[in-house]
Amino acid sequence: MKKVLAGILAILMALSLAACGRKTEADLVNDAMERFDALQNGELTVTVTLSSEQGIVEGFDAVTKETLTFVRDGRQTDALYRSETAMGDETVVTEMKMQGGKVYSLVEGAWQEQGDAGGSFAPFGGRLKNGIAVVTTTEWDTGTEYTFEMNEKALADLNKQAPEGQQVLESSATYLVNPEGLLVGQRVTSRASVTVDGKTDQLFSETETTLTAWNQPDVTIE
């Protein structure tokens, strides 16, 4: 069952790493991502909501609320992370930090090194590509919202990589770019089907990421 859950989550997260769109809109969002990458520091909130129709995948239905503070110094990014995951009557709290190229977790009040911090710091996912999404644009007082909904061909290509018994039915990613051209928000939603022991369920995922503050004075990761 854990393997099934891991496979489902891998599919649902794929959109945030490969959300795509027509060149014009994708370029505008990519420019906004570059402005985000140039920030000296910032604070993010993330809410991940996972739900299912039938509940046949044990441990899938959950709500996770995360806060993340990051500080950049050249190519190095230090970050402090805290999450609370509610699953039924149980709440799991996780606290971690990335500092000096190392990852640490908070265990019984003390930071314990977990290893090297691999990969890049990309809370909004990777750069957008072209041609595999239907794009809509909405203007708000807070900025411009770009929604990329994966088309049938993109979904078919994505599902070729899916484990047996799992399929993504629809996926979309919405980006909010403020009037200064900075990416300040993202919402990724997906609907998938999974078959386990002859039973089929539909799984829903929504991840909302918001940049709440940036380039504040005297921000450090302790």
pLDDT tens per residue, range 83-111 = 999 988 899 999 999 999 999 999 999 99
Q: What does the domain layout of the chain look like in residue ranges?
A: 2-116+131-213
Mean pLDDT of the chain: 88
Beta bridge partners of 189: 172, 206
Does the pLDDT value for residue 49 go beyond 90?
Answer: yes
* 152: region left, alpha or beta (phi > 0 left; psi from -120 to 50 alpha): alpha
pLDDT bracket for residue 7 (50, 70, 90): low
The arithmetic mean of pLDDT across residues 112-133, rounded, is 85
CATH architecture, domain 2-116+131-213? Clam (2.50)
| Paired strand residues for 73 | 76
Tell me if 35 sits within 8 A of 181, measured CB to CB.
yes
Query: How far is 130 from 202, CA to CA, in rounded Å?
Result: 28
Is residue 178 pLDDT above 60, yes or no? yes
Token pair of 62 as six digits: 């959950």
* CA 98 – CA 188 distance, rounded (Å): 25
- pLDDT-based confidence at residue 119 (cuts at 50, 70, 90): confident
% pLDDT > 90, the chain = 67
